[in-house]
Structure 1
Amino acid sequence: MNQALSTSTDVRAQQRAAFIARHWHAEATLQALPADASARRYFRLDGAALLLMDSPPEQEPLRPYLQVAELLRDLGLSAPRVPAADEAAGLALIEDFGQATYTRLLAAGHAEAPLYELAVDCLAALHSAPAERGAVLPAYDDTRLADEFALFIDWYAPLLLGAAPSSALRAAYMALFDGLCDEVAGRREAVVLRDFHVDNLMLLDGRAGVAACGLLDFQDALHGAFAYDLMSLLEDARRDVPAPLQERLLQRYLAQRPDLDQETFLADYAVLAAQRHAKVLGIFVRLARRDGKLGYLNHLPRVLRLFRDALERPALHPLRDFLDCHLKGWRDDLPVAVLDGLRGRSL
């Protein structure tokens, strides 16, 4: 660690200690929790049922988290309470939901269907709220959707091409995908949590109904289409969800939304599946190549399979055919030599 980085780390540790001293007590012991893909860090306060969220304000401002947490709680859902926050410093004390994430429970052998059913019921409750409740959030519009599906052509495609795509190829890809997303980009139906999957869901003891589903990592929420979060749950980048269970869960959701235009919902689902999987393929490569977070490479085969499957839906055939023509080998898992290059960060 160089001197400047060491000094910065020490200063941040001092800021955390001062915040804890003001809002809890100076002798509190902090236990660092595993980091994720963001710049945020979390620390468990021993014996306090609280976590310290360290969210560097220049990278991950606290305001969106505080705003969405309050909105979700107002709707009867379980987002962590926030007893204390310093937005300028990017520090907050938040309710500790414990360690029963869906990911841990499933790994320990918990029955998957009840967990997924609870998550689907939670989404149905969220989507039953008036659409205008989400209007306080930024729109999930064409610009944001495009910024995300661009990650595929900017980060994943160069691994197949051996170089950055030409400006003409990139422009054609962007225009085609933008046209596919044209209708869904105008949806303003609900709060879209955007990372609704098993890593960010918890089973909470002592809470009834949908409140038993604890929600995490929702600070990037936007105002968009109903279909996005259900698709994110069922077509998980990190975990295979059996096809029969996916279908039962989809029908469970639709049964709770009798007034929904199912044809429109399913069309949105198909387009957003392609959009999300394209985004995630790019993000996982970027995390490995730029940030050295190599564990995300393990998920690439699954996400590629999900992307391929998404493009087999008839409405997505134009994108499938475009990639077949202009990005040879896109359907295949990345060659071992390419993965080795990523792991060595030498590409």
Structure 2
Amino acid sequence: MRDRNTAAVRAYRLEQGELVLRECEVPEPGRGQVLVDVRASSLNYRELMVQRGTYPLPVKDDLVPNADGAGVVVAVGPGVTEWAVGDRVAAAVFPLWQHGPFGHEFLPQLGGSLDGMLAERVVLEASGLVRVPDHLSFEEAATLPCAALTAWNALDGVRAGQTVVTRGSGSVSLFAVQFGKLSGARVIATSRGPAKASRLTALGADLVVTSEDWVEEVRAVGGADRVVDVVGALNDSVRALKVSGEVAAVGSLGGGWPPLDPALMFGSVATVRMVAIGSRAQFTAMNRAIAVAGLRPVVDRVFGFEEAAEAYRYYAKGDAFGKVVISMG
């Protein structure tokens, strides 16, 4: 690991869509803040949107990118009592969202309107941190803030014996398979090919549907209580539901949202809920469950800090099965 006990540390900045590595002075935490030695950061699709200028939420100029990250507290500012030097932590993407439903006042976010985690050391609000499970490496812990918490939120309220459907094999869907099994649900995963299907089965999926007509296959086995839709095909997801089922809408692969047919929703008394990651309280609860179960995230590949641009290019290809992580060493 590079010696960071110097007057300068390194951080990436986004300049016209390109990652540029710069040196800067070691930041100092102010009141209510902590200084975190970042050990790893992971990529989500939102990072590509930020880089390409298509992210729907505000993005600051001269941004330090990446919402996800985990590390060690190395200094605390005045008034901080919850954290101590040496604590292993991860940062909440929306640091102001402590609990309850999401609101406009919680919009400030890491790697967007706030500087993110692709730096050797960062100053963060103490109230926006959570403890990471002891059994996870920093590379594994860095996968949790966005994709894992989104999946956890998407499955909120799922009970043992219910049926959960996950779409595809992106990171949110992989976490949803794991959390679905953790809740005691029957998990049906959809996949376009047999190669990923076998890996989804190994991860815990009870049934993997590879045909284009996945809706009919799900309905043939009784329908779904919850569909985690990362594709944006909401009409299909509603059709796959049991009466009074729910679609947790996470995103849209194509960037657009086909019109949602109200008659379909009325016919099955369906609920469609938009999922915006999750609160700090949900993050804390998720980490407790991960620790108790000994659950481990799926990591596809780890890149070095100097290889961040290569990590972005690799992730953009869309071939990863699991999280792409950048390690600071």
For normalisation by structure 1, the TM-score amounts to 0.27
Larger radius of gyration: 1
Instruction: Specify which structure has the higher proportion of strand.
Output: 2
For normalisation by structure 2, the TM-score amounts to 0.28
Instruction: Specify which structure has the higher proportion of helix.
Output: 1
